[in-house]
Amino acid sequence: MAESTNSSVKSAVIDYCTKCLDQPEQEIRNPPGRHDSLAVLIMDKVTVKVMSHSCKMSDITDQGISLVEDLFRRREPMTSMDAIYFIQPSKENVVMFLSDMSGREPLYKNSSVPKELVNHIKCDTSVLPRIGALREMNLEYFPIDNQAFITDHDGALGELYGENVESTRRFDACLNTMATRIATVFASLNELPFVRYRAAKASDDSTATFRDSIPSKIAAGVWNNLLKYKSIPNFPQTETCELLILDRSIDQIAPVIHEWTYDAMCHDLLEMDGNKYVVELPSKTGGSSEKKDVLLEDQDPVWLELRHAHIADASERLHDKMTNFVSKNKAAQMQQSARDGSEISTRDLQKIVQALPKYNEQVERLTLHIEIAGKINGVIRELGLRDLGQLEQDLVFGDAGAKDVINFLRTKQDTSPENKLRLLMIYACVYPEKFEGDKASKLMQLARLSSEDLKVVNNMKLLRGSSESKKTTGGFSLKFDNQKTKQAARKERTDEEETWQLFRFYPVLEELLENLSKRELPKNEYSCMNDPSSTVQESTRRGSVRKSHASAAPAAPERKAPAQSMRSRRTATWARTSNSDDGYSSDSVLKTATKEFKRMGQRIFVFIVGGATRSELRACHKLTAKLGREVVLGCSSLDDPPQYITVRSRRTEQGLLYFSRLVTRRNSNHLRTAAMQPEHCLLQ
């Protein structure tokens, strides 16, 4: 296995795929007397997702692939072309492979291949001579970011945490597949982790349920797979990183609270299909506006720089970028001179023509983000999210109570049902006693929400059980002492840099990871599958290829929280990068990201069963800079509030309670109307 310890979770997939599409097959696809031979790539539904999360079509065609086909669709015979099969090692896939084999075709696999399937291929003597090569690829995860991946289990909450599901086949299948896919991350990155997990309650605890043991079951599955990988050549034999397995019960506020970063606001308030957004831009010919599909992803340097910035700060920085770009770009200056009536020399015209392609590309990129930020700010004003966001964060930090919530529901009756439900879900997390008996029904009546919405709040109890009697590190529990003072679900961070208002919130995950880095996680709450002595841990850390520099970082001085002013608080410096000609860093971000990872200490991986949020992804990027260790987030799915808060309970034919995501937003028409407002004003 090639060394990949400095790769990101996304680049590891790209490296493996490109090498296996190119290097091993050069002699097969280009034998003597035959050059530039093209091939067909055949994949199943899982391997298509693996590829699509990491590679573009141009990346595949650059490796000599002329056509991509679906294994289970009828295909035209192409006897003159070689084929590469990139498929899962399942019986139905092998049967399909054997049935349509023709020509000299290398076969590739994407996870451990059972011997019986290899023998099944060997038994077909007519096919065996036609196989050019066979290789196993441990790539069964889906990267969504350089520091994040999913296992593609959108229904994990229902399959693992529903009522009476622990004895079903779906429960076992979900656990096993999730554990296998997590393990392939470490195989592809050539890492062997300390496998830590949220411990289950004691068996004699009357409140213990099967749900408490899910992180430990997944941890055991991951460790069993990792033990098999130790036989792979060059795979580490001693631990090189940390893995912490959690579930959604650690923090039920993060999925529903309004996160005020550019990235989170795009996915929360705009109609997006994954990372694709349809934007209406002014026509270049002066006619009606044109619709354009844009991808908000790592290849866009402006997006990469601003995605974790507060939306108001992102808006200001975009304005500064455009102003600085126009003032410093020669093509823009010459065009302005032409408009003013000044004469332009032939040499200047030549310079304008040469600079125009890059000029147009940069202007189009900045204009796109200014348009998106303007629409977000329009939706914020339209829905009155500033007041709602302030109340949400005041509740979390203990600055608001029942009277504030009741007053909001009475005076802000035009608030959308979705946002009222999100507010009450936060309220239920901080004040669970307010939803006992008929109190919940009265709150729902005041908010003008239905009994179906009450089920959404009640479903939180299925996860809350493991958090009520077990304190979370840092005092973040969902059940508090019966006291008359206002309750809080978070402590103020006094060691943080000054940030924008409505930027106080941080997920529980952030403190858990900081404690993990400092080795301060309580052992009675967080166990380890391969728990070493402190001596072994220290020697492993010193002997690792990835040296840890976290201990060298000086402790931040304690500060008092600054006054709450929307325009006087700035984005923390970890979310900003070095300056560039157009205001701040853009293109330089892409060039330096990978280099920075190579100089960091041991990686920290964290996996959240039941889905993660964009605030948790932001926390991982933030801690990477703060701790000097790359923090990688894994999850069963990455959920945005429009998906998470529309979770509804339903009864199946077997009478089992499941969580089901209904991705249709209940106020989508209202938001779509608001999003189309052509306002570009900053958040005031």
Per-residue pLDDT of 84-129, as tens digits, reads: 888 888 888 888 887 766 444 444 344 556 677 777 777 777 777 7
Burial of residue 103 (CB within 10 Å: 0-12, 13-18, 19+) is: middle
Amino acid at 550: A
Q: Do domains 147-255+492-576+595-660 and 262-383 have the same CATH topology?
A: no
pLDDT for residue 493: 80
Greater pLDDT, 293 or 596: 293
Q: What DSSP designation does 384 have?
A: T
- Crossing angle for the helix pair 9-22 and 169-189, to the nearest 10 degrees: 80
The predicted pLDDT at position 289 comes to 77
Which residue's structure tokens are 């130790």? 230
Q: What would the DSSP string read from start to end of 534-573?
A: HHHHHHHHHHSSS---GGGSPPPPP-PPPP--TTT----G
Total Cβ atoms within 10 A of residue 559: 12
* DSSP 8-state code for residue 574: G
Right CATH for 147-255+492-576+595-660 from 3.40.50.1910, 1.10.10.60, 3.30.360.10, 3.40.50.150: 3.40.50.1910
DSSP secondary structure string, 400-447?
--HHHHHHHHHH-TTS-HHHHHHHHHHHHHH-GGGGSTTHHHHHHHHH
What global pTM score does this model have? 0.76
What's the mean pLDDT in 566-594? 47
Higher pLDDT, 259 or 671: 259
List residues bridging with 314 in a β-sheet: none
Q: Note the pLDDT of residue 33.
A: 42
What are the contacts of 553-560 at 24+ separation with CB within 8 A?
553/626, 553/627, 553/628, 555/495, 556/495, 556/496, 557/495, 558/494, 558/495, 559/494, 559/495, 559/496, 560/494
Rounded (10°) CA dihedral 267, 268, 272, 275: 10
CATH architecture of 9-136: 3-Layer(aba) Sandwich (3.40)
Average model confidence (pLDDT) across the chain:
75
Q: How far is CA 217 from the centre of its chain?
A: 23
**Which are the contacts of 53, defined by CB distance < 8 A and separation ≥ 6?**
10, 13, 142, 143, 144
Beta pairing, strands 193-198 & 526-528: antiparallel
**Secondary structure of 462-489 in HEC code, one letter for each residue:** HHHHHHHCCCCCCCCCCCCCCCCCCCCC
Residue pLDDT, tens place only, 244-289: 999 999 999 999 999 999 999 999 999 888 888 988 876 766 677 7
Report residue 80 as tokens.
Answer: 């003159």
Q: How far is CA 632 from CA 50, 517, 629, 671, in A?
A: 18, 13, 10, 33
Q: Are 192 and 235 in contact (CB under 8 A)?
A: yes
Beta strands 82-87 and 107-109, pairing class: parallel
Strand ranges of the sheet holding 601-609, from the earlier edge strand across to the other edge: 142-145, 148-150, 629-635, 601-609, 241-247, 193-198, 526-528
CATH 3.30.379.10 is held by the domain 262-383: no
Give the residue among 184, 89, 181 at the shortest CA–CA distance from 637. Answer: 181
What is the pLDDT, as a whole number, of residue 342? 58
Cα angle, residue 407 at apex, residues 402 and 409 outer, rounded to 5°:
100
pLDDT over 60 (residue 197): yes
Given a cut of 90, whether residue 597 has pLDDT beyond it is: no
| Residue 256 CA, distance from chain mean position | 16
Domain boundaries, the chain: 9-136, 147-255+492-576+595-660, 262-383
DSSP H or E segment with residue 84: strand 82-87
Distance CA 179, CA 161 (A): 16
